Structure 1
Amino acid sequence: MYTLGFRTTVGTWIFCYILMLHRTYSFSRFIKEPLDENQAEGDLTYFNCIVRELDETQYVSWLHNGRKISKNGVIIINTYAHYSIDYDSTFGKCNLKIQNIKRSDKGEFVCTVFENNNKIVEKSRTANFTVLEIPQQQYPICTSTQTSYHVGQSVVLDCISENTNPPSILTWKHSIVGGTESGLKESLTGNFEKSYSFTAKQSDNRAIFTCELTTSANPSLYRNCSIGPLDVLYRPVVRIEQTSDVILGNEAIFICYSDANPQETTFEWSFDPPISENMFVLENYIILRIKNTINSLNGTSVICKVTNSIGSGSNKLIVNVKSKEPINNVVEPNNGKETKKSEKINERNKNKSNNQNSNSNQQLLQTRSPNNSSTDISISLVVIIALVCIIVILGLALIPVGYMKYTRRQPSDTISRGRPVSIPDVYFEPRDHIDPMLPQLGLAAPWTRTVGVQVPGECEYDATYNTQVMPQPRQVYYTQRMYPASSL
């Protein structure tokens, strides 16, 4: 019994060992497994998977959130067209690449070994993929509760962004003082929003408010939206200005300026105490002219009242009439001594003035003389420069004329008179020959060459060649052919 039990135990251990060897031989382990990844929308990412020694009946697939999306190196689901697999069966490589990441790509990825019967043999570790979401293109959106506001009314501006992970960063930019910016909160529609509130003032009219959007998912991303110019309604703010001091007997001009939103509708002038209507004139209801200023206007209040659809505003200016300044000082009569002294002083002043005039005339003469010489020099200099310029221009103009004159060539088929040259039908060819021996002289004849000249038949004969050839003695003939006298 003991021996049989021992044999049974040993057999069991051997069977288990063989089974383990078979399993180890058919599939060992994952050499590289996928890791957790965080990546922004639109980017790309990789998940690595390397498996050692796969059996022929086994293959590698990727699971996304428990769904098989590939088999070996092929993506088997159309909705995952932006996925691709770097597959090499020799090295057991099956790396997953995701391009143009979408929000739907987030989740769990597992590299899995299957057998032919779709039985899972082994899985890699689970890799969690977090997609950093970026707000869609239409965000941010700026809104306001009203199109226009009255002075003193509360204004609330909202900046809305999509609810993303990570949340967007919203910041209000403006030039006003005294507003309050709320924190980021979730709206009823599920989006994120950030509000800015303040009390409308006259100085806030035409102001522009900008909301900037950034995100940690993509630091280079920057978008904005704006509200404005803000329409703040207020009654007219009036001021009166006068063009100059009010002088007794002169014309006085007053101008009424107004700042209002909406535009002014009426301008009204009044006086306290009232004055006659014949004393002033209105131009375009904005300018007031008082024709002749009198003493009774001193201390009068000039009032301008302006009205628009919101209300009325007014301002006043108190007239301060000034007397005219005397043109000549009136001198009271003095006694005889004072008059004599004054006469002497006047004579002295006249002499001083005459001396000063003579000195000034001399200085003027002295200062004018160099000016005259300088003007003469400048005129002569201008004339010289003008002549040089004319000469240079003429020289430049003659260069192309001379070039064309000395480089111009007549065509080969025309003569100087411009008539075409006819081509003759007969051509002469040069022929070399030796004259026969002259028995009378017993000398060999010289070598001669006959040359024919081609000329048009209609050309005129030149007087140089229109000569008669006179018969010559034989001795003269050979003498002209450079025979020595002894040979003759």
Structure 2
Amino acid sequence: MYTLGFGKAFGTWIYLYILILHRTYSFSGFIKEPLDENQAEGDLTYFNCIVRELDETQYVSWLHNGRKISKNGEIIIHTYAYYSIDYDSAFGTCNLRIQNVQRRDKGGYTCTVYDSNDQIVETSRTANFTVLEIPQQQYPICSSTQTSYRVGQYVVLNCISEKTTPPALLRWVHNIGGSESGLKESLTGNYGNSYSFIAKQSDNRAIYTCELTTSANPSLYRNCSIGPLDVLYPPIVRIQQTRDVILGNEAIFICYSDANPQETTFEWSFDPPISENIFVLENDIILRIKNTINRLNGTSVICTVTNSIGSGSSKFIVNVKLKEPINNVVETNSGKETKKSEKITERNENKPKNKNSNSNQQLLQTRSPNNSSTDISISLVVIIALVCIIVIIGVAMIPVGYMKYTRRQPIDTISRRRPVSIPDVYFEPRDHIDPMLPQLGLAVPWMRTVGVQVPGECEYDATYNTQVMPQPRQVYYTQRMYPASSLQ
């Protein structure tokens, strides 16, 4: 009994020793441990783990922030369903794959070896995973403190982004007249960016845009806009004259205005004042002075425009010019300019001083070059008109003459060098079949009537090879087609 008990106990100790030796020998460590990673949201990442000489009673699991999420090659928590394991027991590989990375995936990942009793045999180093956060789709968000601003008022434009790691970068740009320019760039770590300025007239209808970028995804670009801004300002006025103010002529002045909101009134005034009979207003914008008089020289014309914000005005000083004398009109001849009075004087000095020359001189002085040029132009127009009429008549006569001389006329044929006139009566060849003979009840053969251009004569030919003699038709048919016995 004692010997048997001792042998049984000894065998148990031997078994335990062998088991311990086998366990110690089976797992010898990690060939590859996971490394730290960082990846942007929505991307893909891997954690690698390879163990050496894993026993069949042992298995490998992954821990996320100390929580067991897998066993061998399977994910055991449904909230980690987008995780997957690349597991191969023969080579000891157990790689963790995370697809479509989310913010909650950040933290520590550990590759752990368990025994059959779910006791930890060995753990790898903990790999730290940093998720590069991207602002959500609704960011950036732009806002302004007011809907409209007056010139000189302080304008504040706000742009905010979600607080992320790394922080988003915000930058303001504005668009005035189709051109863009940078205004202000945010500092790293800012999750909101405000741009402030004093409103000017040029800021009206301007669009301000806040641009968002992030180092987590260099290709990402988003923006939001404020505008067009409504900047209110009083009228900006200017007066423009259509042409020089000439003594005795009509003078026209136009009042232009740029305002927001729209202009309400236009008022014209003069310094010193002038009579209302001298000028006329059209739509309150156009000023017409019918007859410019000399005392208007130096008068100040003032246009005042008003809207709901304020008023603006512009002043124009009238400069009346005298009419130029006719004999002082400058002429251009081959690029040289001379005065008419100088030309007339030069001609008078070169001509002999006699009665005829005096009369010619008076004629030259009294005749206007404009009249001579007018006479020449009228003569030239008359000549051109006559030439055009002649050409049109000639062109119209061409088809008439052509029709007259090319009309088809009866042409006599020439036979034996003698003219032969065309007869008045024509017979056309016709093919026909005579009706059945009443005596025989038989049809006669096909016949042809031949027309001959000889007046008064006509022949009949029943066939192409038979000549028909003048005789009664019944006799002809009897002799030609049927024997005498058939007529009896």
Q: TM-score scaled to structure 2, two decimals?
A: 0.63
* Of 353, 368, 374, the match for 1:337: 353
Does residue 1:166 correspond to 2:166, yes or no?
A: yes
Distance 1:344 1:269, change over 3 A: closer
Counterpart for residue 226 of structure 1: 225
Contact kept, 8 Å, 1:33 with 1:48, in 2: the verdict is yes
User: Higher strand proportion, which one?
Assistant: 2
Change (3 A) 1:19 1:76: closer
- 3-state DSSP class of the match of 2:164? coil
Task: Report which stretch shifted further, 102-111 or 290-299.
Answer: 290-299
1:85-140, CA deviations, whole angstroms, 9 ceiling, x for partnerless residues? 11122222211100000000000000111123221111111111111111111111
Aligned to 1:425: none
Amino acid at match of 1:297: L
Once the two structures are superposed, the pairs formed by residues 405-484 of structure 1 within 5 Å of their partners are none
Equivalenced residue count is 350
Deviation (angstroms), 1:70: 0.9
Going from structure 1 to structure 2, the CA distance change for 1:218 and 1:338 (only over 3 Å counts) comes to: farther
The 1:182–1:86 alpha-carbon spacing in structure 2 relative to 1, beyond 3 Å, is: closer
**1: CA distance between counterparts of 2:156 and 2:191?**
16
State the match for 1:181 in structure 2: 184
Change over 3 Å in CA distance of 1:179–1:260 after alignment to 2: farther
Offset of 1:180 from its aligned partner?
6.8
Q: Could you say which residue in structure 2 is the equivalent of 1:213?
A: 212
Give 1:45 deviation, angstroms.
0.5
Counterpart CA distance in 1 for 2:251 and 2:133 is 71
* Residue equivalent to 1:135: 135
**Structure 2 residue aligned with 1:262:** 261
- Relative to the length of structure 1, the TM-score reads 0.63
Q: Distance in 2 between matches of 1:18 and 1:282?
A: 121
Pairing 1:25-104 to 2, within 5 Å after superposition? 25-104=25-104
The C-alpha deviation readout for 1:137-196, integer Å capped at 9, x for no partner, is 11112222222222122222222111111111222223679997374377xxxx701222
* Secondary structure of the structure 1 residue equivalent to 2:155: strand
Q: Is the 8 A contact 1:157 1:196 kept in 2?
A: yes
Q: Which one-letter code corresponds to 2:199 in the other structure?
A: A
Residue 117 of structure 2 is matched in structure 1 by: 117
Cα displacement (A) at 1:319:
1.3
Cα deviations by residue, 1:193-244 (Å, 9 ceiling, x for unpaired): 1222222111122222222211111111111122221221111110001111
Q: 1:171 to 1:281 in 2, by over 3 A?
A: same
Tell me the equivalent position of 1:470: none
Question: What is residue 146 of structure 2 aligned with on the other side?
Answer: 146
* Matched-pair identity in %: 76
- CA–CA separation in structure 2 for the residues paired with 1:161 and 1:133: 12
Which position in structure 2 is the counterpart of 1:126?
Answer: 126
Q: Distance in 2 between matches of 1:311 and 1:347?
A: 66
2:261 and 2:307 in contact (8 A); partners too? yes
Q: After the TM superposition, which of the residue ranges 24-33 and 40-49 deviates more from structure 2? A: 24-33
| Whole-angstrom CA distance in 1 between matches of 2:111 and 2:102 | 20
State the partner residue of 1:287: 286
1:438 alignment counterpart: none
Native 8 Å contact 1:102 1:131 kept in 2: yes
CA contact (8 A) 1:184 1:193 kept: no
Q: Which residue of 1 aligns with 2:249?
A: 250
Q: Identify the residue that residue 472 of structure 2 maps to in structure 1.
A: none
Give CA deviations for 1:410-441 in whole Å, capped at 9, x if unaligned.
Answer: xxxxxxxxxxxxxxxxxxxxxxxxxxxxxxxx
Shift of 1:59: 1.4
CA, structure 1 residues 168+121, in 2 after alignment: closer, same or farther (shift >3 Å)? same
Shift of 1:271: 1.3
- d(CA) in 1 for partners of 2:354 and 2:225? 85
Is 1:271 aligned to 2:274, yes or no?
Answer: no
Runs of 5+ unmatched residues, structure 1: 1-13, 377-462, 464-488
Q: Match for 1:214: what amino acid?
A: T
Aligned CA distance change for structure 1 residues 179 and 171 (closer, same or farther; 3 Å): closer
SS of 1:263's equivalent in the other structure is: coil
Shift in alpha-carbon separation, 1:90–1:338, aligned structure 2, 3 A: farther
* TM-aligned CA deviation for residue 47 of structure 1: 0.7
The DSSP-based 3-state class of the residue aligned with 2:235 is strand
Structure-2 separation of matches of 1:220 and 1:112: 38
| Aligned equivalents of 1:339, 1:271: Cα separation in 2 | 58
